[in-house]
Structure 1
Amino acid sequence: MNYKLTIIFFLKVLHLSMGIDYDGWLNIKMEHSLNCENGKYCNRGTISIKSIRTGTSVIDQITFGRTHIDELKELAEMDGFYSIRTICTSADNKETEFLSSVKAQDFLNSGLSDVISAWVLPSGAVMAINFQVDNSSQALVLGSNNYKIHSNFYLRYVEQAPVPDTASYIQKLEREREAREKGELKDNRSFLAKYWMYIVPIAIFVMISGATNPEQAPQGAR
């Protein structure tokens, strides 16, 4: 048993689970724009995630035939895109749709290998799903009747930025204003801190006056 790999996997799972407030299943239906008889998109496969915390997934995809490859080659000749639509369904029965695309030529050059990433908030809501070509794969070898899609799926955690407590800050300002009006709030600032806005203009005026009207040097005795 490779203990090093086990420890790395445990740490990744721990990091993800600490950032996720919600756990539940997630199903991602994948559709693409190749060899579709009716409509623009047709079935490509599914990704099933049993637990958002662990990110464990099962990918089930169709096998490409010669018709799929021919359409990809036609798109590649036109410098076109291979489009994918994903429909996410979560445990709370919410459906979210995302669109993504990659260059058809790049997809062929990768040997039908892509990387699928789902970006999830701590609440469990899916914010985005995108497809990228796996550039480390080898080009597709033509001449077969069946071509398998090679996909790697990653569930990525999105950290939310802290939200400022605007309501509490406004209430604090209101309390300070009411206290000043009632005379309950004492101003313990120094003299300079209280009246600097009056002192600074006067000091600048004096400096400017001294620079424009220098005293003439006394004349020497004759």
Structure 2
Amino acid sequence: MYFQSFVVISLLVLFNYAACIDYDGWLNIKIEHTINCGSEKYCSRGNIALKSIRAGAAVIDQIQFNKQHIDELKTLADIDSFYTIRSLVTSADNSKGTEFYSSVKAKAFLDNGLSDVINAWVLPNGAVIAVSFQVTNSSQPLPNRASNKINSNFYLRYVEQAPVPDTATYIQKLEREREAREKGDVKDNKSFLAKYWMYIVPIAIFVMISGASNPEPAAQGGR
């Protein structure tokens, strides 16, 4: 029963995500890092491939760390430094690719048994605007693991675009109003009170004050 409920919830989440995406196509994320790269600053760590952004199913292929990788990570951890990732994202509409950078503390990465979470933030048009890495919350130190294989979970995150102000239309409206004023075509539809309230109000206040300070004498009663 629990498994069936989990499957139903998962399908609903995937359906809601797919409904938010206006574009569908393939997506590829090439992952590089900065350890055990020899003379190069960045070298390959793996690849994430998606045949369909809407489906969200990813194939993750990553290297297995060797002793050199671990030693360099420990060196970074000893100085409380960062383990840095570079991601190159390509798609059907972006063949040149877009680079993103993300870092986590090397010690945290080691303490979590080389486990991390990779998030790709996607707009409704299918464009990836960020790729972030973070360590998981599971505490599995590396010595307790059977291998030095990286354990990554990948998620597509939907980003809803905020409404963009229509600046061009507003500027055109201002231009039309300016031209109308210059031609004298603008009609003043304000009421008499709206036009001259600044003159009427002081006079009304003056009359009220005068009436209050000079009350009319009461009529004398007959004898």
Note the residue ranges of structure 2 that are not aligned, 5 or more in a row: 214-223
Aligned counterpart, 2:220: none
Cα drift, residue 152 of structure 1: 0.7
2:112 to 105, 110, 113: 110
Contact 2:113/2:145 (CA < 8 Å) preserved in 1? no
Aligned counterpart, 2:97: 95
Count of matched residue pairs: 207
- Kindly provide the CA deviation profile for residues 93-122 of structure 1, in whole angstroms up to 9, marking residues without a partner as x: 130111111111111111111111111111
Q: TM-score, normalised by structure 1?
A: 0.80
SS at 1:94 equivalent: strand
SS at 2:142 equivalent: coil
Give matches, 1:1-222, under 5 Å. 2-92=3-93, 93-141=95-143, 146-176=147-177, 181-183=183-185, 185=187, 187=189, 189-196=190-197, 198-199=198-199, 202=202
2:31 partner letter: M
SS at 1:135 equivalent: coil
Structure-2 separation of matches of 1:84 and 1:42: 10
- Kindly provide the CA deviation profile for residues 129-172 of structure 1, in whole angstroms up to 9, marking residues without a partner as x: 1100112232221697x411111111111111111222223333
Q: Which runs of 4+ in 1 moved over 2 A?
A: 166-186, 189-196, 198-203
Closer/same/farther in 2, CA of residues 84 and 200 from structure 1, 3 Å limit: farther
Cα drift, residue 17 of structure 1: 1.9
Closer/same/farther in 2, CA of residues 193 and 110 from structure 1, 3 Å limit: farther
1:36 partner letter: C
- Kindly provide the CA deviation profile for residues 20-44 of structure 1, in whole angstroms up to 9, marking residues without a partner as x: 1211110001111111123011111
Note the residue ranges of structure 1 that are not aligned, 5 or more in a row: 216-222
Closer/same/farther in 2, CA of residues 202 and 54 from structure 1, 3 Å limit: farther
Closer/same/farther in 2, CA of residues 200 and 34 from structure 1, 3 Å limit: farther
Q: TM-score, normalised by structure 2?
A: 0.80
1:111 partner letter: G
Structure-1 separation of matches of 2:176 and 2:70: 70
Structure-2 separation of matches of 1:59 and 1:6: 22
Q: Determine what percentage of the aligned residue pairs are the same residue.
A: 60
Closer/same/farther in 2, CA of residues 37 and 179 from structure 1, 3 Å limit: closer
Structure-1 separation of matches of 2:166 and 2:135: 42
Contact 1:113/1:137 (CA < 8 Å) preserved in 2? no
Structure-1 separation of matches of 2:18 and 2:162: 18
Q: CA RMSD in A?
A: 2.9
